[in-house]
A and B are shown apart, each in its own frame.
Chain A
């Protein structure tokens, strides 16, 4: 029997709650989250356990800062699992204190990511819009091929950035909205 299992990582922007519930389900079936990678989550065979999972998003600049951070969570009953892109995964026994106990700090978790996505959209949306507009209005058709290729490349890169950024932005904004309305 395999001692390792993998599931796809579809990102947390839209489905964080579902993903965390899935981790709990797998843990109760004897599969413990071990590692988070860009495209997948890796689980290892373990004793079945009733666990809850959560993430915190935070930039930890130094090793000593990370040590202090992890220790605070461990003292609070949240065991560190792994990190990817400043997203830190933890598990705790059911019934333990919540990772976030007030709305403000729960919302703040997402603010840095929302801000980064917003900046990306602000830069790429105009580029894509103007480029498409120029093409639609046939303004650029007589230009030098080199410039046209350059325009095409820039537009392509911008779209490649715009789509995930805007989707993540919307997903996180919805998540924040839900947290605030859950706590009213």
Chain B
């Protein structure tokens, strides 16, 4: 499956992109769904199964890490250096896509 290598190719799905954005600062895993909904003004929603799967993949790929667990044992995650780097790369990629599209449309 080509998509399994998505993280290695530094091409992130929209869901993964938003999850990384919400983990630029430390955050509870379960709060990510609400935050992504707010950040994207309701246009992107992430379901719990998708979130859980993607978080596990991000940990395996070392793009995020577990921070010290709080007293109530709820897990807190944050981007690793590698994760920040991948996010920056994908932002650049999306900026380019945006620029190309805007240029094309402006000629209409």
- Interface residues, chain A, with chain B CB atoms under 8 Å away: 54, 56, 58, 64, 68-69, 71-73, 75-76, 78, 97-102, 104-109
Size of interface on B: residues with Cβ below 8 Å to A: 24
Given contacts A68-B75, A72-B30, A76-B33, contact A101 B46 (CB under 8 A): yes
Within the assembled complex, what's the spacing in Å between the Cα atoms of A98 and B33?
12
CB distance from A53 to the nearest CB of B (A): 13
Please report which residues of chain B, range 1-35, place their CB below 8 angstroms from some CB of chain A when the two chains form the complex: 1, 3, 6, 13-15, 29-31, 33-34
Q: Mark B42-59, 1 if CB is under 8 A from A, else 0.
A: 000111111111100000
Question: Would you give the shortest CB distance from A97 to chain B, in whole angstroms?
Answer: 5
Q: How many A-B residue pairs have CB under 8 A?
A: 67
Contacts of A104 in B (CB 8 A): 3, 6, 13
Q: Is B73 an interface residue (CB 8 A)?
A: yes
Cα distance A58–B56 in the bound complex, in angstroms? 12
How far, in whole Å, are A108 and B53 apart by their CA atoms in the complex? 9
List B residues at the A interface (Cβ < 8 Å).
Answer: 1, 3, 6, 13-15, 29-31, 33-34, 45-54, 73-75
- Give CA–CA (A104, B6) in the complex, Å: 10
Q: 7 nearest interchain CB pairs? A: A76-B48, A105-B50, A101-B47, A75-B30, A73-B48, A105-B53, A99-B49
Whole-angstrom distance between the alpha carbons of A76 and B32 in the complex? 10
Are B47 and A100 in contact, CB atoms less than 8 angstroms apart?
A: yes
Please indicate the chain A residues that have their CB under 8 angstroms from the CB of B47 in the complex: 76, 97-101
